[in-house]
């Protein structure tokens, strides 16, 4: 993956905005009394900021960071907790906000440790899903787009910490 760079736009900023609005509406219909959002850093930070700005009910936020890919585009299968939450999840309606579900290992790990903290409900929203790469069967209630097995960057997603700032989602090529 030496000379890779973002080439074709896979999902445009307009399509992303439309879908994010729909997801926000869906989540609000399910939780009209409000939610506590757990954002998974760093990849979900832009998705999070667009998603929560489409919500009118009570929304509280917390952040956690995990590391699943050392550097590059293949999963190590190992998930490490780099930053934990600041507040308790006890009795709350919690929605995990993540950028992408690929093998499913990261989300499986996150759901397990967060469920152990006794939330009233625990659901997951992912902007992207690559079902063909799944290694574990993980439940994701809100999915923005289902994509093929391509490595994508932009709108928060990175390749070796680059390209998170691109406004569209693009595929890496040469």
**Catalytic positions, please?**
102
Q: Interhelix angle for 45-53 vs 13-30, to 10°?
A: 60
Positive or negative torsion for Cα 35, 52, 159, 103: positive
Tokens of 31: 């939780």
Decide: is 104 part of the binding site for Mg ion (CB under 5 A).
no
Q: Does 152 bind ligand IMP (CB under 6 A)?
A: yes
Q: 43, 104, 119, 144: which one contacts Mg ion (CB under 5 A)?
A: 43
144 binds Mg ion (CB under 5 A): no
Nearer to ligand IMP, 106 or 124 (CB): 106
Are 66 and 79 in contact by the 8 Å Cβ rule? The answer is: yes
Residues contacting 151, CB < 8 A, separation 6+: 4, 73, 159, 171, 172
Q: How far is the CB of 84 from ligand IMP (least distance, A)?
A: 17
- The piece of 47-55, 87-95, 112-120, 149-157 that touches ligand IMP (CB under 6 A) is 149-157
CB nearer to ligand IMP: give 33 or 149: 149
- Binders of ligand IMP: how many residues, by CB under 6 A? 17
Confirm or reject binding of residue 154 to ligand IMP (CB under 6 A).
Answer: no
Nearest approach, Cβ of residue 109 and ligand IMP (Å)? 8
Asked if 67 is part of the footprint of ligand IMP (rule: CB under 6 A), the reply reads no
- Please calculate the CA angle 97-101-47 and round it to the nearest 5 degrees: 35
Burial (0-12, 13-18, 19+ Cβ within 10 Å), 86: exposed
68 binds ligand IMP (CB under 6 A): yes
Cβ atoms of 44 and 156 within 8 Å: the answer is: yes
Which residues of this protein are in contact with ligand IMP, per CB under 6 A?
43, 68-69, 75, 98-106, 151-153, 157
């Amino acid at each position: 993956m030496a000379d890779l760079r973002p080439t074709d736009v896979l999902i445009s900023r307009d399509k992303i905005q439309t879908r994010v609005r729909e997801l926000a509406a869906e989540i609000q219909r399910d939780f009209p009394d409000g939610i506590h959002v757990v954002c998974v850093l760093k990849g979900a930070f832009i998705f999070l900021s667009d998603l929560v700005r489409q919500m009118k009910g009570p929304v509280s936020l917390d952040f956690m960071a995990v590391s699943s890919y050392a550097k590059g585009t293949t999963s190590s299968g190992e998930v490490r907790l780099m930053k934990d939450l600041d507040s308790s999840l006890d009795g709350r309606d919690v929605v995990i906000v993540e950028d992408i579900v690929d093998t499913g290992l990261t989300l499986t790990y996150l759901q397990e440790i967060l469920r152990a903290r006794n939330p009233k409900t625990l659901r997951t929203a992912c902007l992207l899903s690559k079902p063909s790469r799944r290694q574990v069967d993980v439940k994701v209630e809100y999915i923005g787009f289902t994509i093929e097995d391509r490595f994508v960057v932009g709108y928060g997603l990175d390749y070796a910490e680059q390209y998170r700032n691109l406004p569209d989602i693009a595929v890496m090529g040469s």
